[in-house]
Amino acid sequence: MKIAVVGGGGREHAIIKKIKENSSVEKIYALPGNGGMAGDCELVPIGAKELDKIVEFCVNEKMDYVVVAPDDPLVLGLVDLLEEKGIPAFGPKKDAAIIEGSKAFSKDLMKKYNIPTAKFETFTDMDKALSYIDMMGAPIVVKASGLALGKGVVVAMTVEEAKEAVKEMMLDKKFGESGSTVVIEEFLEGPEVSVLSFTDGKTVVPMVSSMDHKRALDNDEGLNTGGMGTVAPNPYYTADIAKVCMDTIFLPTINAMNAEGRTFKGCLYFGLMITKDGPKVIEYNSRFGDPETQVVLPLLESDLLTIMKATTDGTLAETEVKFSDKSACCVIVASKGYPKKYESGFEIELPELKENEEIYVAGAKLSDGKLLSAGGRVLGVVSVNDTLKEAVENAYMVTSKVRFENGYSRKDIGRRALLVKGDN
Ligand code: AMP
Ligand code: GLY
């Protein structure tokens, strides 16, 4: 089989490595991929948002299956375009990807179907948004409705900060049209859990839970990033909470999407907060998380490609989805300066890895056989071990052997999880 994976980061590298385990796969293409994954697939210089070119390539090369990993092409309707040409693809169609593409949509969906989430109001009129903030007071959360590279959320501790965020989104158009509608919502407190799930629109199978570390610096300080590291499983996600989530969030969401005529197939990502009133949805993503995927997929014992195809074919209920009971930790190595300005082009030397270790490359290119940094987040160093403590320690041990002068990583990935979990 010939498989194309659309996207180019560490998440895509993890997906590609896992798909390679299926013996019927002859060749994997990454569109566009990055130089660090050249040993695992063929790189095709077509960007993830160049939908027409992607479709043309997949038709010409007679692709058997396409995995669409990032949000943009899903929200723009790549899965629909591929299916029109008879090429099956992993991921939701455009009408279902809106669950991530529009927060106004997803919040209304949750309200209509009683799915627990923060109380909110949606605004297209700036003055009304500003008066609402005055009425509600702080802390309060302001969100651009559309896609904003994970940067469209401001958790404001003061009324002034919240109003400034609204003005930046609605008046200054900081996120373009994505901010012309804003959602203003109640501030919630509690530990956050990421639960990725496979679904064919009938059955929903949660993957092992994980914990992201979104801030750039230790102790959750500094700016928000795409994610500086992850651990799995997430110790806050107990069996009792998992049951509540299945009954009040996961199944109701799948049913709600069906009821709206927007059947969701692919990976539905539930960003949850475990509040004192129970688990609530912070956000939905219509795709695998990054860097959650880098700790979740190494724990998957079943065949990824078989599961992905089952979500497309509607046969997920009959398909084995089994996770190991081990733990995983991913430490992101980013370019100094990220998520603000950073320089690229620094040489990277990777250490030899053992069987339970992986380095997924997120932002690098090959030049004269040398690996050079070419992005904000550059590497995801992963270790899988019997206990979370060992996974964290070993991920840092491997990270210390990476030679990359311009790199930095957080030193406390997994620390909070270990405090919850005790010694293992
Ligand atoms: P999102 O992009 O919607 O996941 O939001 C980014 C981050 O903002 C989340 O991971 C939370 O840490 C925080 N956040 C979002 N919504 C809320 C809320 N209602 N209350 C408190 N924090 C929030
Ligand atoms: N790590 C968060 C996300 O992928 O949206």
Could you report the per-residue pLDDT of 366-412, keeping only the tens digit for each? 999 999 999 999 999 999 999 999 999 999 999 999 999 999 999 99
Tell me which residue has its CA closest to atom 11 in ligand 1: 282
Higher per-residue confidence, 225 vs 115: 115
Q: Please check the confidence at residue 210 and state whether its pLDDT lies above 80.
A: yes
Instruction: Calculate how far, in angstroms, residue 22's C-alpha sits from the geometric centre of ligand 1.
Output: 37
Instruction: Calculate how far, in angstroms, residue 269's C-alpha sits from the geometric centre of ligand 2.
Output: 9
Q: Is 197 left (phi over 0), alpha (psi -120 to 50) or beta?
A: beta
Q: What is the pLDDT confidence band of residue 270, given thresholds at 50, 70 and 90?
A: very high
Tell me if 248 sits within 8 A of 116, measured CB to CB: yes
Give me the mean pLDDT over the 305-309 stretch: 98
Ligand 2 atom with minimal separation from the 230 CA: 1
Report the pLDDT value the prediction gives residue 155, as an integer from 0 to 100: 93
Altogether, the residues listed in the chain come to a count of 424
* 39-94: pLDDT as tens digits: 999 999 999 999 999 999 999 999 999 999 999 999 999 999 999 999 999 999 99
Ligand 2 atom with minimal separation from the 289 CA: 4
Tell me which residue has its CA closest to atom 3 in ligand 2: 289
Q: What is the pLDDT confidence band of residue 259, given thresholds at 50, 70 and 90?
A: very high
Q: What is the pLDDT confidence band of residue 193, given thresholds at 50, 70 and 90?
A: very high
Pocket test for ligand 2, best of 106, 153, 269 (most atoms within 8 A of CB): 269
Count Cα atoms within 13 angstroms, Cβ side, for 148. Answer: 24
Q: Is the CB of 185 under 6 A from ligand 1?
A: yes
| DSSP bridge pairs for 197 | 206, 268
Ligand 1 atom with minimal separation from the 150 CA: 2
- Identify which ligand lies nearest to the alpha carbon of 224: 1
* 337-376: pLDDT as tens digits: 999 999 999 999 999 999 999 999 999 999 999 999 999 9
- Identify which ligand lies nearest to the alpha carbon of 288: 2
Pocket of ligand 2 (CB under 6 A): 150, 212, 227, 285, 289-290, 292
* Cα separations in angstroms, 96 against 114, 365, 366: 19, 34, 37
Q: How many CB atoms lie within 10 A of CB 126?
A: 16
Report the pLDDT value the prediction gives residue 176, as an integer from 0 to 100: 86
Q: Please check the confidence at residue 421 and state whether its pLDDT lies above 80.
A: no
Alpha carbons 8 and 35: distance in angstroms, whole number: 9
Report the pLDDT value the prediction gives residue 265, as an integer from 0 to 100: 98
Instruction: Calculate how far, in angstroms, residue 117's C-alpha sits from the geometric centre of ligand 2.
Output: 18
| DSSP bridge pairs for 65 | 3
Report the pLDDT value the prediction gives residue 422, as an integer from 0 to 100: 66
Give me the mean pLDDT over the 140-159 stretch: 89
Alpha carbons 192 and 169: distance in angstroms, whole number: 25
Instruction: Calculate how far, in angstroms, residue 154's C-alpha sits from the geometric centre of ligand 1.
Output: 8
Instruction: Calculate how far, in angstroms, residue 285's C-alpha sits from the geometric centre of ligand 2.
Output: 8
Percent pLDDT > 90 in the chain is 94
Give me the mean pLDDT over the 153-159 stretch: 94
Alpha carbons 183 and 103: distance in angstroms, whole number: 7
Q: Is the CB of 140 under 6 A from ligand 1?
A: no
Tell me which residue has its CA closest to atom 3 in ligand 1: 283
Burial readout 78-109 (b: 16 or more C-beta within 10 A, e: otherwise): bbbbbeeeebebbbbbbebbbbbbbbbbbbeb
Instruction: Calculate how far, in angstroms, residue 226's C-alpha sits from the geometric centre of ligand 2.
Output: 6
User: What are the residue ranges of helices labelled H in 102-154?
Assistant: 103-112, 126-136
Strand 65-68's sheet: what is its strand order? 42-43, 27-32, 2-7, 65-68, 89-90
User: What are the residue ranges of helices labelled H in 301-407?
Assistant: 304-313, 388-400
Ligand 1 atom with minimal separation from the 271 CA: 4
Residue 113's identity, in one-letter code, is Y
* Cα separations in angstroms, 316 against 150, 206, 253, 348: 30, 12, 17, 41
Alpha carbons 297 and 311: distance in angstroms, whole number: 16
* Cα separations in angstroms, 144 against 134, 152, 193, 205: 19, 5, 22, 30
Name the pTM for this structure. 0.96
Alpha carbons 250 and 257: distance in angstroms, whole number: 11
